Amino acid sequence: MSQESPPLTELTSISAGFNTFTLKKWFPIATLCFWLTLAFLSSKTVSDGDYEKIRSIVLGIFMALGFFFLARYLVSGFADEVWMNETCIRFQKDGQQETTPLTNIEELKSYHFQLGFPFNFPQYLVRMRFTEPLEMGKQVRFFIRSPAPGGLYHEKEILETLVAHIWTAQANPSTQDSN
């Protein structure tokens, strides 16, 4: 967390349009679901033609997936407002603001993909993991969806600017510390 936060006049708001900012807390959901499913499946032995046990195994897998997505939703939150500049990113959630330098990001992934029918609109996803966890969570996802054709490009450019700022900050960490 940065002690010297720049004023809002020096920051650019990036939470506009169809942006969804998900603040995820760390929780070993995938590992937990894997071991629960493995324990359930190892307790079942399937003999030839025993469709009742096959049905219970398939049901167990679907229940584990349902638990996985429910748990992921429950440990997530949404930021009210997000700002950025060349050196830092600031989140506001429930009236509380937190600023962190872009050099605090240890992992960055960005994707642009087109979903097929019935979701015939482009998607853009930026996922960041921080070396020092924020109070609001360790992992942040920026997700843009655009139901209107052509409506994505302004928001996509904003997130591409954020990604470019992060790459620059990662390439030149010494200039970040002098600010």
Per-residue pLDDT tens over the stretch 26-72? 666 667 777 777 777 676 665 666 777 777 777 877 887 888 777 77
CATH number of 8-26+77-177: 2.30.29
Per-residue pLDDT tens over the stretch 100-139? 888 888 888 777 666 555 555 556 777 787 777 666 666 7
Per-residue pLDDT tens over the stretch 71-106? 777 777 777 788 888 888 888 877 888 888 888 888
pTM of the model: 0.61
**Token pair recorded at residue 44:** 């079942």
147 has pLDDT over 50: no
pLDDT at 64: 78
**Token pair recorded at residue 68:** 């996985």
pLDDT at 162: 81
Written as one letter, the residue type at 6 is P
pLDDT at 148: 46
Q: Which of 13, 18, 16 is nearest to 123 (CA)?
A: 18
* Bond preceding residue 149 cis, omega within 30 of 0: no
Q: How far is CA 173 from CA 99, 100, 118, in A?
A: 17, 14, 43
pLDDT at 161: 80
